[in-house]
């Protein structure tokens, strides 16, 4: 992997994004880190520059102009992106109607449109070079029945999974691997941002993985060319149950436990 180009990681300021950046640095891949919080990016970059070259480009992907600007800025710096990690994301807690439309529109821009646009912008040079890796961070929530609350989250992640799987088939003969990374409960700032930390912390420890392990599994999967990576045995069982259980039983199970990890008020 060293020498093949830079890894662009969005949402790299914390959590799984920061862990994926650390994993690529461990593998010798130079980095372009992007997120809204420049101070957090610079702090992470300072810890990684002893291993690889690191560039920081702050951007807010809720801005529809951000994907194009990010591509242009990377071009102005003379960098080639051979690894794209679409990781930026968050959750909107509560019922669908408890938030104004602008909140949902921004969410969809970050979680769906920016993922598709960044991929569309950075994929052509990968295909031209005959080598590329695209790791789209989805979620177990995109594979199991929907629950009340965080209404668009599972739907957005289901899109990312299907998008990645289709793209993986299109690019397989062109040297580009595309993977949907589907973690379950992961120790990160995600639950602090959406206000669910106290509630999800009551869930049993065996449901959780740390972000570094999720990152290692995801990067290994995209290097192998796996179209989908569900992290951890427990999560693979849950995904399997939701697939093979009768739909009514799977939905009832999710409904019964959803308040442990979703705010539906």
pLDDT digits (tens, 9 = 90+) for 153-177: 999 999 999 999 999 999 999 999 9
pTM, entire model: 0.86
The rounded percent of the chain whose pLDDT value lies above 90 is 73
CB of 195 within 8 A of CB of 93?
Answer: yes
* pLDDT bracket for residue 54 (50, 70, 90): very high
| pLDDT-based confidence at residue 135 (cuts at 50, 70, 90) | very high
Is 153 labeled as catalytic in the residue annotation? yes
Across the chain, mean pLDDT equals 88
- Please determine, for residue 248, whether its predicted confidence score (pLDDT) is greater than 90: no
Give the pLDDT band (50/70/90) at residue 260.
Answer: low
Judged against a pLDDT cut of 90, whether residue 132 lies above it is answered with: yes
SS3 state of residue 210: strand
User: Annotated catalytic residue: which of 24, 90, 96, 153?
Assistant: 153
pLDDT at residue 63, as a whole number: 98
* pLDDT band of 186, cuts 50, 70, 90: low
pLDDT greater than 60 at residue 199: no
Higher pLDDT, 5 or 188: 5
Q: Classify domain 6-260 at the CATH superfamily level.
A: NAD(P)-binding Rossmann-like Domain (3.40.50.720)
Distance CA 217, CA 180 (A): 11
What is the arithmetic mean of pLDDT over 195-216? 69
Question: What is residue 202's predicted lDDT score, i.e. its pLDDT?
Answer: 57
* Residue 69 pLDDT grade (very low, low, confident, very high; cuts 50, 70, 90): very high
pLDDT band, very low/low/confident/very high, at 244 (cuts 50, 70, 90): low
Higher-confidence residue of 26 and 190: namely: 26
pLDDT of the residue at 197: 45
The first and second tokens of residue 223, run together, are 């290097």
């Amino acid at each position: 992997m060293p020498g093949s180009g830079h890894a662009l990681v969005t949402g790299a300021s914390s959590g799984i994004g920061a862990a994926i950046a650390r994993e690529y640095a461990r593998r010798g891949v130079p980095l372009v880190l992007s997120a809204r919080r420049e101070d957090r990016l610079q702090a992470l970059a300072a810890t990684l520059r002893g291993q690889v070259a690191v560039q920081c480009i702050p951007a807010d992907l809720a801005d529809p102009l951000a994907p194009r600007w990010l591509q242009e800025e990377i071009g102005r710096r003379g960098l080639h992106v051979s690894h794209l990690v679409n990781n930026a994301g968050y959750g909107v807690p509560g019922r669908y109607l408890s938030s104004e439309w602008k909140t949902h529109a921004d969410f969809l821009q970050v979680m769906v449109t920016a993922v598709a646009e960044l991929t569309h912008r950075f994929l052509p040079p990968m295909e031209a070079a005959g080598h590329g890796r695209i790791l789209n961070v989805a979620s177990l929530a995109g594979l199991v029945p929907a629950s009340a609350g965080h209404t668009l989250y599972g739907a957005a992640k289901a899109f990312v999974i299907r998008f990645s799987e289709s793209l993986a088939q299109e690019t397989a003969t062109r040297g580009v691997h595309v993977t949907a990374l589907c973690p379950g409960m992961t120790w990160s700032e995600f639950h602090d941002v959406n206000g669910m930390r106290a509630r999800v912390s009551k869930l049993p420890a065996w449901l959780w993985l740390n972000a570094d392990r999720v990152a290692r599994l995801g990067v290994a999967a995209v290097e192998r060319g796996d179209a989908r990576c569900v992290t951890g045995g427990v999560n693979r069982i849950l995904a399997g149950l939701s697939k093979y259980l009768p739909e009514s039983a799977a939905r009832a199970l999710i409904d019964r436990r959803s308040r442990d990890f979703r705010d539906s008020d």
